[in-house]
A and B are shown apart, each in its own frame.
Chain A
Amino acid sequence: MANRRERRAGRGRALGLVASGLVALLASGCAIVEGPGLGLLPTRPQTVSDAIGRYDAARDASLRLVIAGLDEDTAGRPSRALASYQRAIGVDPTNPYAFLALARHHLEGGSPDEASAFLDQARALFETQDGLGPEVDVWGVGLRAGIDRALGRHDEADALFESARSLSPSVWEDEWLSASELR
């Protein structure tokens, strides 16, 4: 009897573990599957440096050139930054981070339309490579908000910034993405 009770208890514990595992999985799945603005869990954004080593040699070289460009942007040399991004695209034209960096660069430079076009490109490339998980879309959501803000679409901007902040408060608290944060 006791053995049977123990076995039953053991089974119960196992079921409990499986159930709690499922709940955890669903919760994490929500963070990946849901779109922005739906009360997402904070996520750790994947920076350009984080992406090194995940693809091939050409992508790594291209990412390093993007980093060089971000450093130039940080140092206030936008023309040199642009050339670095352009070389990064020359090495790997399908590197989404290069276009993301260009979108950020143009938003900072006061060209929201150009920024928007590059952001579209970056998002399309992310989508057809790793998928638009929150760890990369966090950049896009915030940049889109910044573009909307620059174009005077404040309601849309507020909503998107809200989503961006919920994904990464540290990055988007100030509603601004610096080159060093993306680096």
Chain B
Amino acid sequence: MAKAGSRAGRKTSERGGRGGKGGRGGSDREAPPPGLLRARRLGLVVVALAFAAGIWAAGWLLELDRVVVSRFEGRRFSVPSRVYAAPIVIYPGADWQRLDLAGWLLRTGYREQKDDAPLAVGSYRWGPGRLRVHLRGFEHPQLPEDDRKVEFRLAGGRVAEMRDDRGGRVPVVTLEPEAISSFFGGEREQRDLIEIAEVPDHLIAAIYAVEDRRFEQHHGIDPRRIAGALLANLRAGGIRQGGSTLTQQLVKNFFLTPERTLRRKLTEAAMALLVEARYDKRQILEAYLNEIYMGRRGSTAIHGIGEAARFFYGKRVADLSIDESALLAAVIQSPNAMSPHRHPERAKKRRDLVLELMAEQGRITREEAEHARGRELSLAAISLESGQDRYFLDALAKQLPEVYDDELLSVEGLRIYSTLDTMLQRAAVKHLADGLASLEKRLGVDTKKKGAARLQGCLLVMRPQTGEILAMVGGRDYATSQWNRCTMARRQAGSVFKPVVYAAALAPQSGPAITLATMVPDEPLRIDTPNGAWEPVNFDKQFRGPVTAREALERSLNVPAARIGQRVGISNVVEMARRLGIESPLPAVPSLALGTAEVSPLEIATVYATFANGGLRPTPRSFIGLLDDRGVGQEQWPLAGARRVLDPGTAYLTTSLLEGVVDRGTGSGLRARGLRGPIAGKTGTTDEEYDLWFVGFTPEMVAVVWVGYDEPKAIGVPSSRGALPIWADFLSAVTGDEVRGAFVKPSSVEQIDIDPQSGARALLGCPEHRPEYFLAGTAPEKTCPRERFFRRRGFFDRLFGR
């Protein structure tokens, strides 16, 4: 009780004391001095402030921690999906110069090795009449390949034979597909993600040596390094040396802006501590190695050592040697100033400094450092992507399943394997650009005048048997116009549509309405339509009287084509066009026979591919499969069989007609340019010369050239002088003098001699004979007319000049 009473009394007394504060009496204790009171108050404020600061700091750190965790445990890197070309196959007898084997080595980052040491992976060595390559292994959705050494023995521009490193004959070699471009996001960063396990120890040692020698010991910030840097900077009178650890560098690149403020530095330090507290050193190092900026290739930023190893040395990071690792570490400090491509001396000097530091710190031996210092930089050639490939990429993206949208393609690091043939694509890019420039020059277009309309074009190449798109250039400059004129533009087809009309009329389903020997009047024609009378005329406004169907197409005569359209029926023409692959609207009007419908070059390519493929229509395709960023197959698009839409006989007759166009008709400019072998094709010039087309094919490829202005306007030349030369130059570049293969008639077609004047069957004694093709049983029954027989000039006629 006493105790309680005393406690109560003390309380009372305290209360009384407080109650007496400011009062006059009521307490026997003395008031504390004012200074102490102030100090107490200050102390309280400080405690409160510290508490508040603590709360704020805890919140701040928690927020930073949340940011760190979400970045580290979510998607850390945006990796653009990369698109690869179809692999090149080399075999004995192949024309290695036309396949551009030497260019392939450079573009895929192979390095020439000039010493006699065993060839490293990704290296090659030229010798007299031979090329030795240590081919890298490569991934593929269906058929990946291991690395292998191959010797190509070369003779007369051809591969004479191929041997492996044990001297065994190699029948076929598939080369690694070329990376043609990537689906970049807004930042245009390219990286090739690596895992820490695949990084060689000497690369880690090189980075530690020059960037953060105590990385394994510190906890995110390194006071000794900071002090050292401070001292060095004080001595230098400015900022000369940084005190950042690898963790701080990672934090800065990952989370922060590059500004140099105290607040940013504090945040960086706090985050570095958090990162170190949460993750182990190997995880941090792996993130750093994937994030670090390593320079530029054109407009693309190179990030991470995986991409840098490919960019500088054309090899995987696991295959880097000590000197190569030292160079990569040397570049980190200042990738542009130390770029080994632009400043090789500077880069080499810093590489040697890294090697010296590595030896000094005992990370490599003196001998290893000396040996590495003696190595040249020996960089892979830089191959800049052609912006023109992006038309193909856009078309490819549209063919991918919908789930692969732009966002996903720019971050998921997919590897997309396409059908593009790099040799054909390069030729297409070059010859379309050259052809348009040359045409503008001939037309006197002032290309320097601001706002002047520039000619545009498309060059599209397809494999008729499979529909694979081998090359696509949808305009003259992707940077200024992304409008893909091969797939998106719908332009009047003009005369390149006529073969559809002829195919409809030649097909057995129509009767057939005509044979190639049918005489068609090239005479004035008037067709009444709901919109008034339609009177087609030929391009030269002349009429030639009766001509054979073959001659009519070879000379691209409009009036006979309109008559044939009428004979077969426009609805049948529309139906045939649909079967052959045209999906655009087709007005069922008489003028459709002359190609007044608007179609895309891709549709026209499909139509002609069907003729080239014997009536089997392929489905256009631009990719064969894709892998995710770990190399696991995600999608495959195996070859689909072409569908029979036209009987082989009719397809052959149409092909034969189109061969005639090239041999004797409006496409004979191709022969004049020295192109030999099986080539079929058709010119097309629309009214007012707004659109110029040339569509041609060989047994192995179909190519479409379109030339015109985006805002339709007269060009001033016909297609034989506008589109055909581009097609000819392209084909000549990719096939050489002679085209492989042949167009061979199927058994349903027979060859019979006819009289070209009458279209009748030419018997012995008929003055003129010309072989012609017919579907079996459709050859003319009429024979060469008697009057023609008797009109034949005899010996005396010739003698007396009668």
Contact = CB atoms under 8 A, between A and B. Distances in A.
Please indicate which of the listed interface residues A89, A93, A116 has the most CB atoms of chain B within 10 Å of its own CB: A93
B700 A93 contact: yes
B641 A121 contact: yes
A114 B643 CA distance: 9
B642 interface: yes
Given A87-B174, A120-B616, A61 B89 contact: yes
Interface string B162-178: 00000000011010000
Contact of B463 (A93, A113, A129): A93
A61 B29 CA distance: 112
Contacts of B616: 117, 120-121, 124
Nearest to A65: B172
A117 B744 contact: no
A118 B638 CA distance: 12
B640 A117 contact: yes
A82 B638 contact: yes
Interface residues of A, number: 39
A60 interface: yes
Interface in B603-629: 613-616, 624
B82 to A, nearest CB: 19
Contact of A102 (B641, B740, B747): B641
B466 A58 contact: no
A173 interface: no
Given A61-B89, A102-B641, A117-B640, A89 B466 contact: yes
A124 B87 contact: no
B641 A117 contact: yes
B143 A83 contact: yes
A152 B172 CA distance: 40
A58 B740 contact: yes
A93 B739 CA distance: 13
Contacts of B463: 89, 93
Nearest to A103: B641
A18 B465 CA distance: 46
A93 B424 CA distance: 15
A48 to B, nearest CB: 13
A147 to B, nearest CB: 11
Given A57-B91, A58-B91, A127-B747, A93 B466 contact: yes
Interface string B139-182: 01111000000000000000000000000000110100000000
Contact of B699 (A89, A94, A120): A94
Contacts of A99: 465
B387 to A, nearest CB: 26
B648 A94 contact: no
Interface in B462-498: 463-466
B511 interface: no
A183 interface: no
Contacts of A87: 87, 89, 143, 174
A114 B641 CA distance: 6
Interface string B120-156: 0000000000000000000011110000000000000
A80 interface: yes
Contacts of A61: 89, 91-94, 171-172
A183 to B, nearest CB: 14
A89 B141 CA distance: 17
A165 interface: no
The contact size tier of chain B is 35 or more
A85 interface: yes
A132 B140 CA distance: 36
B636 interface: yes
Given A79-B636, A91-B91, A128-B745, A64 B642 contact: no
A113 B643 CA distance: 10
B740 A124 contact: no
Interface in A42-61: 56-58, 60-61
A169 B492 CA distance: 57
A86 interface: yes
A93 B464 contact: yes
B644 interface: yes
A107 B731 CA distance: 37
Contacts of A125: 614
B639 interface: yes
Contacts of B648: 124, 127
Interface string B736-753: 000011111111000000
Nearest to B94: A57
Contacts of B358: none
Contacts of B464: 93
Nearest to B614: A124
Contacts of B549: none
A166 interface: no
Contacts, number: 113
Interface in A124-161: 124-125, 127-129, 131-132
A115 B641 CA distance: 8
A80 B633 CA distance: 13
A80 B172 CA distance: 16
Nearest to A86: B639
B289 interface: no
A80 B89 contact: no
B171 A121 contact: no
Contact of A118 (B87, B615, B641, B740): B641
Contacts of B93: 56-58, 60-61
Given A60-B91, A64-B172, A127 B641 contact: no
Contacts of B87: 87, 90
A80 B644 contact: no
Contacts of B636: 79
B309 interface: no
Contacts of B206: none
B642 A121 contact: yes
Among B141, B745, B746, find the residue whose CB has the most chain A CB atoms closer than 10 A: B746
Contact of B465 (A94, A127, A129): A94
A84 interface: yes
B592 interface: no
Contacts of A117: 616, 640-644
A54 to B, nearest CB: 14
Given A57-B92, A58-B91, A102 B639 contact: yes
B766 interface: no
Given A61-B89, A61-B94, A61-B172, A85 B639 contact: yes
Contacts of B91: 57-58, 60-61, 64, 91
B636 to A, nearest CB: 7
Contact of A121 (B172, B465, B743): B465
B86 interface: yes
B137 to A, nearest CB: 15
A93 B699 CA distance: 8
B528 to A, nearest CB: 43
Interface string B396-424: 00000000000000000000000000000
A128 B639 contact: no
Nearest to A127: B746
A132 B746 CA distance: 10
A122 to B, nearest CB: 10
Interface of A: 56-58, 60-61, 64-65, 68, 79-80, 82-87, 89-91, 93-94, 99, 102, 106, 113-118, 120-121, 124-125, 127-129, 131-132
- 7 nearest A-B pairs in the assembled complex, by CB-CB distance: A117-B641, A57-B93, A61-B91, A83-B143, A83-B142, A128-B744, A124-B614
23 contacts: A57-B93, A60-B93, A61-B93, A64-B91, A65-B89, A68-B172, A82-B639, A84-B143, A86-B624, A87-B87, A87-B143, A90-B87, A91-B89, A93-B466, A94-B699, A117-B642, A117-B644, A120-B616, A120-B644, A127-B648, A128-B614, A129-B744, A131-B747
Given A83-B141, A87-B87, A89-B463, 20 more contacts: A56-B740, A57-B94, A61-B89, A61-B92, A80-B143, A83-B140, A84-B143, A86-B639, A89-B465, A90-B86, A93-B463, A93-B465, A102-B641, A114-B640, A120-B616, A121-B613, A121-B641, A124-B613, A124-B614, A127-B747
